[in-house]
Amino acid sequence: MPLPIDKTFGQDFGGELCPQASAIVQALADPNAPPAAQTDIEAARRGHALADYDIPVASAETRVEERWLPTRSRPVRVRLYTPPGDGPFPVLVFAHGGCWTFCSLDSHDRLCRYYSHHARCVVVSVDYGLAPEQPFPRGLNGFYDSLLWCFGHADEIRGDATRVAVAGDSAGGNLCAVAAQRLQAHPNFRLCLQLLIYPICDAANLRGGSVDRYANGYFFTREVLAWTASIYSRDSGPQHPEISPLSGEVGPRMAPALFIVAQCDILCDQALDYARKLREAGVDVQSHFYRGVPHAFVAMAGALELGQQALAYSAEHLTRAFYNESDS
């Protein structure tokens, strides 16, 4: 069965990292790192491993503010990014990556500024609850409830409820995929796009294919995913369809999807499998495949050309979805 790849970027290095990406991964490697389960979570959260490779601030004109959304379950902190002008603007509800355990509004601040500026939208970056303090489904519910709030109260943030999308990387992409599955049955609210950047689609089956090939030495390891999935899923188990959306129910009412897939990533095969599943269900899917780059390569866009390309093309895709522009 052919892979569901629509566009391919980068040179073929025989399935290995390109020179730029290899230099970054080698610089980040720590031969003295303890086993994943011994990670000091609080210390890891205080840092940002990819800060030195981040993009410059896209625009000084973007208005940035924090507020608490009074969602149906509990208040959720968000950071709002608003472009200049009166609006109403499209709304992008964003979930940061970090294996449901790490990262923050700050670690993905510049990425959100980029999308707000280049896609001319209000970005709502959600500070969802992290494991192990807030295991499944608390973080997911916080993100989903924030999404529902944005649909119902878009005018309060100069947004347009008819043009709402979700975006996230890695675990954030996982939350977006599950939120899009939940929203299939909603009688009124429809997403115009789900932007899934190397999403975690299957946390239960961590053997074979790209998981084996890229298990170690490519920045994101199988050991780290297995450990964080265990503390996130806790009593539910990683096979739960709202933890592993590849097992979830999908139909033609699902929002269109753009997948950003990294070749040298344990998540490569499962992202393509989920793209295929959506396409077979009648969903409009675009898959962009980037050769020679690892997981989190978009977060390396300040030093990695293919990361810059992925940012630019995904922002263009968002713009077309928001403003009903054709793909020229």
For Cα atoms 286, 292, 104, give the angle at the middle one, nearest 5 degrees.
70
Q: Strand (E) positions, the chain?
A: 7-9, 63-70, 75-82, 89-95, 122-126, 159-169, 193-197, 257-264, 285-294
Catalytic site residue 240? no
In this structure, are residues 262 and 310 in contact, taking their beta carbons and an 8 Å threshold? Answer: no
| Cross-sheet strand order for the sheet of 285-294 | 7-9, 285-294, 257-264, 193-197, 159-169, 89-95, 122-126, 75-82, 63-70
- Whole-Å CA distances, 202 to 190, 219, 247, 282: 25, 19, 8, 21
Residue whose C-alpha is closest to residue 125's, from 94, 92, 146, 97: 94
Catalytic site residue 210? no
The tokens describing 239, both together, are: 């096979």
The tokens describing 147, both together, are: 């999404």
How would you classify the pairing of strands 122-126 and 89-95? parallel
Say which of 107, 125, 170, 210 is annotated catalytic: 170
CA dist., res. 245 & res. 200, Å (int): 8
First and final C-alpha spacing in the chain: 28
302-313 b/e with 16+ CB inside 10 Å = b? ebbebbebbbeb
In this structure, are residues 53 and 304 in contact, taking their beta carbons and an 8 Å threshold? Answer: yes
Catalytic site residue 104? no
The tokens describing 282, both together, are: 């009648």
The dihedral built from the CA positions of residue 321, 326, 327 and 328, taken in this order, carries a sign that is: negative
Say which of 146, 265, 288, 317 is annotated catalytic: 265
Residues identified as active-site: 170, 265, 295
